[in-house]
Structure 1
Amino acid sequence: MCPGHTEPASTSRCRCGRGARLDVALLVSSCSTSVDNGSAVNATNDAAPGGAVNVGLLDVGNYPTKPSPPLGSAGTAQLGAIVEGQRMANYVTGPWEVDPSLIRSYANSAVVLKNAAALKFVLPEALAAPASRHDFVAGFYTAREDVDRKMLQNAVLRFPDPAAAAAAAADFSAAAATEAVLIPPVAPVPIPGHLDTTAFSHTFEQPGKNLRWTVVRAFTARGPYVLVQLAQATDSLDTAAALIAKTLDLQGPLIEQFRPTDAAKLADLPIDPTGLLARTLPVSPDDASVNQRTVYEPHGALQFQTDPSRAATLFDKAGMTHQASAATLVYEARDAYSAQVIADGFFAEVGAIGKPAGAVKQMPTSRCLDLSQGKAANFYCLATADRYTIEAQAAQLLDAQQKTAAQYSMLTTP
């Protein structure tokens, strides 16, 4: 629940350990064979310190060790809308790009918006109602905060065409102008440099902290999209309005790079265009969140990182091209050395908050951590297989180890 607002927090695909992405400890086994997506790596010529990994000796539990058959297309417009929203993640401006202090996860920080009902994660119910009337297609939402100082939410909502987006933006704005708030009034506010943006402000008091927040909510129609922001600040209205202005400066040009799918052809969208998801430990469609069962490009993957600024530097250094998200996470880097760079970076981050746990058996260079808090058990493991970095996580150490071993096997089995 957002402070002072009625919208619920979103349910993200992977919130654990490092906070904003699936967290698993470092396993550093790399293979010398160069790998293309969809091709197995050489598991018997392991170049990592500690020697080769004998896949036949790994304890994989009941997890599969061979790649899935080709995953094909979405098949339905409903699943196609999720795939479209996942694609949009790469073209949505993250709050940390607007203000470097906006790093900490806020609520669940990032979520694919699969239908009009999902706009409850972005807007109060009364404000979100126009989306269904104007045939909302799909979207993506991201949020971060600087605790007790600032918070920024940014969402891009896609509609069938510019006319529908303009009508939806107008209706959103009309509803926002009469939003019921704890401390009236709701007042219109200009956004510097963006005369086409409609925005409204109000204030609220945060119980227990003696903080008074200024809130600005903004709507901008841009082509077939509505750009929606909510900014909060404890110092001034100008701070909140400036956050939205900078967001729009970045978000407008970025979303124009996205190639939207014809709404009538969403069912034809491929689930796994790179082939990497088929080589990732699967999660069933029934169990997958809207953020899972996909492959993200680098900027999209940052939406789920605990510290996206730090991760951006790491990914750039490693030449990371794709992140597959399923029962594990698999990152594709430039080469085996670069996969090791990602694994080392992740372990340095997670190791600061975790306790050492047993390595994956028969994988002497693997590393696992105990990230449990109170009664909530949480274990995290990391590994590499040639140019791939593997993350796995589970409530039991053995389960995390078996997931890691199975994922390694899947990447190294023809």
Structure 2
Amino acid sequence: MVEHRTPVTARLALGALAVLLVGCGTVDGAATPGEIDVRSLDVGSYTTVPADIEIGRKPTDGPILEGLRMAGAVVFPHEVDPALTHSWGTDVLDTPQRASDTSAISNVNLAVLERHRMIVGFDIAEGTLAFDKAKPAIETDARITRVVLLRFPGAGNAKEAARELESTDFGVSPDNRPVPIPGYAAAHAHWRPGIKTIGATFAHGEIVVSLFLQHQSPDIDALAKRVAAILDAQIPLLDEFTPTAPDRIAQLPRDPDDLLRRTLIPGPADQRIAIDSREFAPWTGRAGRHYRPTEPAELGTAWDRGGVDSVAHAYSTTLFRFRDEADALAFGTTWHDTLSAAAHPIAAPAGLPQARCAERRAGTAPALTRCYVSYRRYGAFVSGAEPAGVRRQAAAQFALLANAQ
């Protein structure tokens, strides 16, 4: 068994700092009674015209969109083990090569994934300690759970892939031993005696669940029980998930919840942008929980109370859809009132009294400015390195939301 696999490096942080490109700005529409006249806002050169998301369709979009759907069907490890409070990364694996290189699948398994025509995967990992890229996980006392969902074109492909993935990984070391998983006779699992990790695969319909777990000590009974607990939580989620027929994946809507067109995009509204899980993507339904803040706890509570049911992310902008306007406003107030010690409030955009902005300095990293702005049931974070530019982004995002009605 491979003792250490490189964790996912993609981070879905709310404050992701992107290179900010600007296009030609326009502010359309007159205000309705009681609303701000968006034509009075300083939006700089940012566009406030809702984008036609479908014109940007690319051949690569379909598998990624299916992977984003799978993001709503994966179990969050901390839901099974609340001690797993630190994210070790999450991402769509849109090719067999990426799955082999970056997921819990051993890198000896590329041929298996290709042979059984893997369509897409989704990968999530969480641990009891913060991820430290300078130290292999196996050298820490971290408890880690990594879950990868791998989609295949049929149940037969998935069943054979699960068996072969285990067999190939098992053959990496002559010291590996099979491990039965309580309650899951069809699961394939192995460990290396004396090593505190376990790998397992389990086919359920067209999806293979691949697991990699690390314990504090080489306790095989504890590891096997943890695998069973993850499967206990994961299988019901897969039962509720309907995979898209392979011949329909290319037609999956790019903006299923009508959120991406409301999200501020660097550059003109008519640009053609490929779906990218880290930079330009819809996270609908339960998949939006990958953006749920965990620190401070009050902000996570405000998210839950606000009933967020969809998220869209476009470069330096993240847009949430709340239950109603009051919840969208309350989330921004909670964020502003619970800023970390490294952050301090700064002036909000002129003309937007409900907007909130802060600047954060941490160590030697460049300062980050972030603003939160809401309009009706929508709330958005925008971020960047320069406060005046971020304030213009916030104003443009507000105007865009108003113009998208």
| Length-normalised TM-score, structure 2 | 0.83
Q: Report how far residue 179 of structure 1 moved.
A: 2.4
User: Matches of 1:143 and 1:335 in 2, distance apart?
Assistant: 32
Q: Which amino acid aligns with 1:5?
A: H
Secondary structure at 1:129 match in 2: helix
Match of 2:150 among 140, 144, 157: 157
SS of corresponding position for 1:135: coil
CA distance in 2, matches of 1:375, 1:303: 25
Q: How much has 1:42 moved relative to structure 2?
A: 8.6
- In the alignment, the residues of structure 2 paired with residue 130 and residue 295 of structure 1 have an alpha-carbon distance, to the nearest angstrom, of 30
- Work out the number of aligned pairs and report it: 373
Aligned: 1:321 with 2:321 = no
SS at 1:301 equivalent: helix
Q: Provide the residue aligned with 1:413 in structure 2.
A: 403
- 1:36: which partner in 2? none
- C-alpha deviations, 1:379-405, integer Å up to 9, x for none? 211111111111111122223222211
Question: Deviations along 1:50-83, whole A, 9 cap, x unmatched?
Answer: xx6442232222211111125268452x210011
Distance 1:102 1:268 in 2: 37
Higher relative contact order, structure no. (Cα contacts within 8 Å, ≥ 6 residues apart): 1
Aligned to 1:69: 52
Q: Which residue of 2 aligns with 1:121?
A: 102
Output one character per residue of 1:235-274: Cα deviation in whole Å (capped at 9) or x when no partner: 3333333322111001111012112111122211110122
Residue 165 of structure 1: CA displacement?
0.4
Q: Deviations over 1:305-359 (max 9, x none)?
A: 3429877643442222211211311111121101123223434554454222332
Distance (Å, rounded) in 1 between the aligned partners of 2:36 and 2:228: 52
Distance 1:314 1:321 in 2: 13
2-structure distance, mates of 1:372, 1:287: 32
- The alignment partner of 1:86 has SS state of helix
What letter corresponds to residue 324 of structure 1 in structure 2? Answer: A
Residue equivalent to 2:133: none
Is residue 134 of structure 1 aligned with residue 134 of structure 2?
A: no
- Equivalent runs, 1:228-239 vs 2, <5 Å: 228-235=210-217, 236-239=219-222
Query: Aligned AA for 2:4?
Result: H
Q: For residue 121 of structure 1, what is the amino acid of its counterpart? A: T
SS, match of residue 185 in structure 1 = coil
Residue type of the alignment partner of 2:345: P
Asked if the contact 1:319/1:334 (under 8 Å) is kept, the reply is yes
Please state how far the C-alpha of 1:287 moved relative to its aligned partner. Answer: 7.8
Residues 302 and 350 of structure 1: CA distance in aligned 2, closer, same or farther (over 3 Å) = farther
Contact kept in structure 2, 1:43 and 1:55, CA below 8 Å: yes
Q: Which moved more, 1:78-87 or 1:255-264?
A: 255-264
Indicate how the Cα distance of structure 1 residues 94 and 254 shifts in structure 2: closer, same or farther if over 3 A, else same: same
In the alignment, structure 1 residue 263 sits paired with structure 2 residue 263: no
1:186-201 correspondence runs (5 A): 186-201=176-191
Letter of the structure 1 residue corresponding to residue 90 of structure 2: A
1:307 partnered with 2:294: yes
CA offset at residue 126 of structure 1?
A: 0.8
**Counterpart check, 1:346 vs 2:335:** yes
Distance 1:323 1:5, change over 3 A: same
Aligned counterpart, 1:226? 208
User: Deviation at 1:214?
Assistant: 0.8
Q: Where in structure 2 are the equivalents of 1:5-404 lying within 5 Å?
A: 5-7=4-6, 9-12=8-11, 14-15=12-13, 17=15, 22=16, 45=33, 53-71=36-54, 74=57, 76=59, 78-106=60-88, 109-119=89-99, 120-122=101-103, 123-147=105-129, 148-180=141-173, 185-202=175-192, 214-235=196-217, 236-282=219-265, 289-307=276-294, 313-327=301-315, 328-351=317-340, 353-373=342-362, 374-404=364-394
Distance 1:317 1:186, change over 3 A: same
In 2, Cα distance between equivalents of 1:100 and 1:290: 26
After TM superposition, the score normalised by the length of structure 1 is 0.81
Structure 1 residue runs without a partner (length 5+): 25-39, 47-51, 205-212
Q: Is the contact made by 1:150 and 1:234 (CA closer than 8 Å) also made in structure 2?
A: yes
Greater mean alpha carbon deviation, residues 305-314 or residues 95-104: 305-314
SS of aligned partner of 1:376:
coil
Spell out, residue by residue over 1:121-154, the C-alpha distance to the aligned partner (whole angstroms, 9 max, x if none). Answer: 2123113431111100112111111013311111
Task: Kindly indicate whether the alpha-carbon contact (under 8 Å) linking 2:292 and 2:300 is maintained by their aligned counterparts in 1.
Answer: no
CA distance in 2, matches of 1:305, 1:338: 15
What secondary structure sits across from 1:91 in the alignment?
Answer: coil
Change (3 A) 1:274 1:317: same
- Matched to 1:364, the amino acid is P
Q: Does the CA-based 8 Å contact 1:75-1:267 persist in structure 2?
A: no
Q: 1:94: Cα distance to partner?
A: 0.6
Closer/same/farther in 2, CA of residues 87 and 59 from structure 1, 3 Å limit? same
**How far apart, CA to CA, are the structure 2 residues paired with 1:23 and 1:384?**
20
